[in-house]
Structure 1
């Protein structure tokens, strides 16, 4: 399969893997539109973007002085949106900084990401929010910081959430840390209600996962490793759902006010499905890589497979797929968590959890979810924006261009030399993946990925 190019005025061609700012016209040739909110959904059209605005959508557009993006089997959707990214910057720049994070996100096709507060210092002040937003202002990538619920994400004392919200936090979470204190979670729901902000919690009963290395089951017994039981996730889901019912009383809400991050178990999906059927305002996401591996894959002791929540069983994966298909699972995230060599090149029980995944999320979801492309795209475009009460993005005339151009059938090998993230902790290195982002258009800028076999 040939590479994709950015063509200047039809007589000069430049291969790019970088971002450029444009003040002229961008013409997308013969792209299939995947956007249920667009009247052009499912059709193949040309799209003309002028000064950052979609000016024309038609079957055959001819325009002078255009920069043209064309290629095989091109699709276009609203810009992809990732709800869960560990930025590491500030404080842990040896693992990732905001520049390499931006490059990795664009390589993965994302025009917007949400960052967790688990940096050093923790994102728990107006200044910390401003640090992220000021960086993002000059980038093609929109970066939406979340604010910590508790000081230093320790689960003990509240941060000044109202101040952080007005500074630009899009949601509140202790990120990698579970809100283990029931009173804290209940009061947070009450505190966030007047500003209609989303609370995000990773369901895990921490007292059950101490020293845990992988999913608790037959495989952990064979390998002699301390397990992380499914019950740890399910108990916290039960607790939080009960607290939510207590908080709501007889009142009703039409938007999710409690979001569960990176669920991983069959019973977890069932609990959230039941809660939604009862009308509780809840939502959830899964990490894309949870669909690709099981606990059996850990027999290699590859520390790149050490993630939390851990890779579960095939039965859990099948339940996740059903949950994606029936709408129980609202969104899919990368759960991008960069780690340096000092954190991963160790014995398995000493290595840190996490993988890099911004660059592989779409391909993983495309290859393993069994979702039709329209529903798949919803999980990484309109659904995350709706959960965060952000403006919708669509492929329609007159809309500001926030677009991802991609080829869902392009097969490519993920190689270390091509990784844009500063970290290299990925179990997908050396594997052939299916589906690739070609370009991102956002904020009057265009980024073209160098896409080759």
Structure 2
């Protein structure tokens, strides 16, 4: 297939083409020409006012419901949602049925991605069935293609398990992804603990539950790194905090980075768009974990993105069917969908980052953490690209949702910024105008 992207601004930090408006001609899955006013014949042309193009967007926290929970989302609907959101690669959590804890389960996900536009990078379980008790065969899973290790929806509560995981992964350059939460402090919690939870009479989840775990995990990481036997081959990050949500977490992780600890972190896009005060509506689509925090925490998250403390932005895409979400708030499941709104949610609420910085957080950032090469916009390179409009305004409605589940907190909102087309694995997809 021959594809021509016409007059698009190239957004790729460090490239000699960064900021230039160019035509890009793609043939047989590779970038064949880059120039101005290219005179070529193409099967598909992507052309409209105000286009930009970057390396394909990467979402490093997606709850894959397939296998076992396909009524919430299957691999085909997940891929369709990713394409609609401009995402060409995803990293999936292991909380499926069965759990991603065998070579076969890793290969099941990888093989689907090999044959489709959206590449899948599975993260495998740290402990069997993500129960926090017995270890999986992590070296074997790494050799099978697992890009990281995590118990996903279940934060590692046992300090000994956590410590031994870091020591084990350091031997072969693995990475532990953990969402920090002391679950003994959040039992039966429904939202952020604060003035709003008190006013509406709902049990809160204190910031301390996250802050304590960040502090614990960093102390254990420091203990591992300080060992004279510590070696970590070709890895800038050994511990990755996923979905941080408090100002204190940002501060502690920033200090750890200044100390030279091999740590990284991400934030979910929806955490940048809402606060706990939005829950006066009792909309179950606003029920997430970690919960929406106070405005001071949201401000700190934005500042953490700007100063480099926060390395990546994720969707934390977690689809649920109506029977799990259209309930009284305290009965509803935690989680929202986000593949289709990753970039728009950031761009619409952004007041501090440049377009280049936003793209960095959803391209280079997650790939650097996981040890995956960032696609280059150069002649001769495989085309792994996202074409987008940073200024396009559009309405996000329930009817427009591509995902099998519809549990989005953004339904009814007007967004600024939209993916227009994606190219990867020799395949092409573009939105309807």
**TM-score, normalised by the number of residues in structure 1:** 0.93
For residue 257 of structure 2, what is the aligned residue in structure 1? 276
Structure 1 residue 66: Cα displacement: 4.5
User: Counterpart in 1 of 2:360?
Assistant: 378
**Number of aligned pairs?**
428
Candidates 122, 125, 134, aligned match of 1:148: 125
Q: How does 1:403-418 map to 2 (within 5 A)?
A: 403-418=385-400
Q: 1:3 is matched with which residue?
A: none
Asked if structure 1 preserves the Cα contact closer than 8 Å seen for 2:239 and 2:262, the reply is yes
2:27 equivalent to 1:50: yes
Alignment match, 1:246: 223
Within a 5 Å distance, the mapping from 1:339-378 to structure 2 comes to 339-370=320-351, 371-378=353-360
1:202-261 deviations in whole A, cap 9, x for unaligned? 000010010010000010011111100000000000000000010111557661110000
CA distance in 1 between partners of 2:161 and 2:131 (Å): 11
Following the alignment from structure 1 to structure 2, what is the Cα–Cα distance between the partners of residues 348 and 66? Answer: 49
Instruction: Give, in whole Å, the separation in 2 of the partners of 1:249 and 1:446.
Output: 48
Aligned match for 2:190, one of 213, 219, 222: 213
- State the superposition RMSD in angstroms: 1.1
Q: Which moved more, 1:204-213 or 1:125-134?
A: 125-134
Secondary structure at the aligned position of 1:335 is classed as coil
List alignment gaps of at least 5 residues for structure 2.
none
Q: Which runs of 5+ in 1 are unaligned?
A: 1-21
- Contact 1:151–1:158 (8 Å) recurs in 2: yes
Counterpart pick for 1:101 among 53, 78, 87: 78
The residue number in structure 2 matching 1:32 is: 9
391, 395, 401: which one aligns with 2:377: 395
Corresponding residue number in structure 2 for 1:230: 207
Question: Deviation at 1:77?
Answer: 0.1
Hey, what's the Cα distance between the residues in 2 that align with 1:65 and 1:377? Answer: 27
Contact 2:170-2:231 at 8 Å conserved across structures: no
CA distance in 1: counterparts of 2:76 and 2:3, whole angstroms: 25
* TM-score, length-scaled by structure 2: 0.97
Deviation, 1:264, is 0.2
The more displaced of 282-291 and 37-46 is 37-46
> How far does residue 37 in structure 1 lie from its aligned partner after superposition?
3.1
Q: By how many angstroms is 1:392 displaced?
A: 2.0
Could you tell me whether the CA contact under 8 Å between 1:305 and 1:355 is conserved in 2?
A: yes
**Aligned with 1:359: secondary structure?**
helix
Q: CA deviation at 1:194?
A: 2.2
Aligned to 1:136: 113
Per-residue CA deviation, residues 316-370 of structure 1 (Å, 9 max, x unaligned), is 0100010000000000000000011110111111100000111011001111132
How far did 1:68 drift? 1.5
Aligned-pair CA distance for 1:65: 4.5
> Displacement of 1:130 after TM fit?
1.6
Is the 1:39–1:396 contact (alpha carbons within 8 Å) kept by the matching residues of 2?
no
Question: Structure 1 residue 26: deviation in Å?
Answer: 1.0
**Consecutive aligned runs of 4 or more in structure 1 exceeding 6 Å deviation:** none
Cα distance in 2 between the residues matched to 1:184 and 1:263: 21
- 3-state SS in 2 of match to 1:42: coil
| Contact 1:37-1:394 at 8 Å conserved across structures | no
- In 2, Cα distance between equivalents of 1:83 and 1:175: 12
Counterpart residue number, 2:68? 91
